[in-house]
Amino acid sequence: MCLWLVILPLIAAGIAAVMPWQRLRPWLLPLVGIAHVILSALIVKAVDPHYTRYLGLDEPGRLVLLLISVLFLICSVYAVGYLRFLVDRPNRVFCLCLLLFLGTASLVILSRTLGLMWVAMEATTLSTAPLIYFKRTPRSIEATWKYLLICSVGIALALLGSFFMAYAAMDVNGQPTSLRFDDLLANAPQLSKPWLHVAFVLLLVGYGTKMGLAPMHTWKPDAYGEASGLVGALLAGGVTNCAFLALLRVQHICRAAGEAAYTSHLLILLGLISIITAAIFMIGQRDFKRLLAYSSIEHMGILALGIGVGGWWASFGAMLHMLNNGLTKCVLFLSAGNIQRAYDSKLTAQVHGAIRRLPLSGTMFLLGFLAITGSPPFGPFISQFTILNGMVQNHRFVIAGVFLLLLLIVFIGMGRTVLDVVQGRPSAQSRKTAFRDNILTGVPIVAALALVLLLGVHIPASLHRLLDDAAKYVENQP
């Protein structure tokens, strides 16, 4: 049954490729989105899900699968509205690549072996690159080039890391080595330590590049800035979390090998560097989509920091924050996309009064900002607070203090740009553009925000169990 999560989007991609009707093609996306959500829910809930040797779901995998599936559904409805607005532009490649992305991301999540996961991860890079290039402007080519080159190098390093992991597991007698996570986990205490150390660094740098951790983040502002809001939402909420999942799995094996302290130091280091870098570049940022990219870097840093600090609280918080960040980024990127289209600009010099020009998108952008910076009653408040609580429980007072200070800086820095965008009086020029809020590009944003709000007010018992399982996985507890 698992395999259908991969096959279904690929079949749909094939249909999108041969379908001759430009106006009808985008509707394929929500259809696949609905089927994918139903299938994912069934598989996560199933008592006996028929996992195969190479395909299956681990505990954090369930969370990421649900997140990406829901995210894709939200974005797919938005995509129909978006592509209707751009009806004179060929959308074949765009639809095809969106569906390919869903298939390959599902494959990353379902992979039970290091090799297959790597191949699938590289495939997500290749399938999303044409999406960034959709606008066909010189700036979008530049962004695509950087994205492809930097992510490919990152993913190449992850491959080398996977090789090192395999070498660490290699038997002296030349028996075949299995790269399945279960086998690696079972043999973890016997893994060769020097090789494992280098392997973890390479995998951290490699998948960290894809996740957008500083200092390997340089592609991110360009790619997120130039891609349409829809693609930004899928990159920031989908691709990054796939890479994070890969890191969680690698980290899980290293911890089982008794290297918890080693991995934790590196994760905390990269996490802090990411949050600091993001905070610096967010102050005075005049481009509100690049601002969101830096916010994504910040939150990837928070995830790495949460896992690095460890303990049940911080791990639980990080798992919850992964969901919150993914959904809130969806709100922010989709509303930012609408604002950009209405003003034909993404610079604060030209964009003012978004709340008046686009009442729905402007409000959503403001609420999304409040949510992502950790204001109650939204989800990220709960998850960031839980991570902070975890730091205090572990007596990491310095890290907790720095973390709080950085969150404050980010709040102020991001707030200035966001308020610039939503407040004030829209220019006469911006009132002339054709774009208005409508159902297809508005409802998905509201739905995503409703989920963020729900996660802040009440976490359903079944979701709590999934989060708890995932936190125990991160902590290597039975």
Partner 1 sequence: MDTPINAILVVVILLNLFLLGSSRIRALVQGAALQGTLLGFLPVLVNPELSVLRTLVAIATILLKGIIIPQMLFKALRDAQIKREVEPLIGFVPTMLFGAVGTAVSIAFASKLPLLKGHAELIVVPASFSTIFTGFLLLTTRVKAITQTIGYLVLENGIYIFGILLLEAVPFLVELGILLDLFVGIFVVSIIINHINREFDSLDTNRLTSLKE
The span from the CA of 393 to the CA of 162, in Å, is 34
Hey, which residues does 55 pair with through a beta bridge? Answer: 111
446 binds partner 1 (CB under 8 A): no
Tokens of 252: 């899980």
17 binds partner 1 (CB under 8 A): no
Per CB under 8 A, the list member of 51, 167, 262, 385 interacting with partner 1 is: 167
Chain residues 276-295 in contact with partner 1, contact rule CB under 8 A: 281
Pick the stretch among 125-133, 241-249, 357-365, 390-398 that binds partner 1 (CB under 8 A). Answer: 125-133
Query: In a 3-state reduction of DSSP, which class is residue 389?
Result: helix
Per CB under 8 A, the list member of 72, 82, 94, 133 interacting with partner 1 is: 133
347 binds partner 1 (CB under 8 A): no
160 binds partner 1 (CB under 8 A): yes
Judge residue 126's burial from the number of C-beta atoms within 10 Å of its C-beta, 0-12 exposed, 13-18 middle, 19 or more buried: middle
Pick the stretch among 138-146, 360-368, 427-435, 453-461 that binds partner 1 (CB under 8 A). Answer: 138-146
Name the residue among 336, 315, 335 with its Cα closest to residue 267: 315
402 binds partner 1 (CB under 8 A): no
Helix, strand and coil content of the chain, in percent to the nearest 5, comes to: 80, 0, 20
Per CB under 8 A, the list member of 20, 138, 189, 478 interacting with partner 1 is: 138
Question: Which residue's CB is nearer to partner 1, number 291 or number 422?
Answer: 291
Per CB under 8 A, the list member of 23, 139, 464, 465 interacting with partner 1 is: 139
Per CB under 8 A, the list member of 166, 256, 283, 463 interacting with partner 1 is: 166
The span from the CA of 143 to the CA of 290, in Å, is 12
Query: In a 3-state reduction of DSSP, which class is residue 171?
Result: coil
Tokens of 68: 């990406």
For the bound state, the minimum distance from the C-beta of residue 302 to partner 1, rounded and expressed in Å, comes to 22
The span from the CA of 301 to the CA of 298, in Å, is 5
Tokens of 229: 């809001």
225 binds partner 1 (CB under 8 A): yes
Q: Residue 201: which region, alpha, beta or left (left: phi > 0; alpha: psi -120 to 50)?
A: alpha
154 binds partner 1 (CB under 8 A): no
340 binds partner 1 (CB under 8 A): no
Residue 21 contacts residue 34 (beta carbons within 8 Å): no
Residue 84 contacts residue 22 (beta carbons within 8 Å): no
Tokens of 208: 């960290």
Tokens of 15: 């249909």
Per CB under 8 A, the list member of 221, 308, 380, 442 interacting with partner 1 is: 221
Question: Which residue's CB is nearer to partner 1, number 286 or number 356?
Answer: 286
Question: Which residue's CB is nearer to partner 1, number 293 or number 358?
Answer: 293
The span from the CA of 452 to the CA of 311, in Å, is 25
For the bound state, the minimum distance from the C-beta of residue 52 to partner 1, rounded and expressed in Å, comes to 15
The footprint of partner 1 on this chain (CB under 8 A) covers a number of residues equal to 48
Question: Which residue's CB is nearer to partner 1, number 290 or number 329?
Answer: 290
For residue 143, how far is the Cα from the chain centroid?
18
| Max CA pair span of the chain | 76
The span from the CA of 454 to the CA of 320, in Å, is 12
149 binds partner 1 (CB under 8 A): yes
For the bound state, the minimum distance from the C-beta of residue 194 to partner 1, rounded and expressed in Å, comes to 5
Residue 294 contacts residue 369 (beta carbons within 8 Å): no
x/- site string to partner 1, residues 171 to 210, per CB under 8 A?
xx-xxxx-x------------x-xx--x------------
Tokens of 255: 């911890």
170 binds partner 1 (CB under 8 A): yes
For the bound state, the minimum distance from the C-beta of residue 388 to partner 1, rounded and expressed in Å, comes to 29
Question: Which residue's CB is nearer to partner 1, number 321 or number 346?
Answer: 346
Name the DSSP class of 235.
I
For the bound state, the minimum distance from the C-beta of residue 451 to partner 1, rounded and expressed in Å, comes to 32
In the chain, the N- to C-terminal Cα span, in Å, equals 26
Query: In a 3-state reduction of DSSP, which class is residue 287?
Result: strand
143 binds partner 1 (CB under 8 A): yes
x/- site string to partner 1, residues 103 to 122, per CB under 8 A?
----------x-xx-xx--x
Binding stretches for partner 1 (CB under 8 A): 113, 115-116, 118-119, 122-123, 126, 129-130, 133, 138-139, 141-146, 148-149, 152-153, 156, 159-160, 162-164, 166-167, 170-172, 174-177, 179, 192, 194-195, 198, 221-222, 225-226, 281
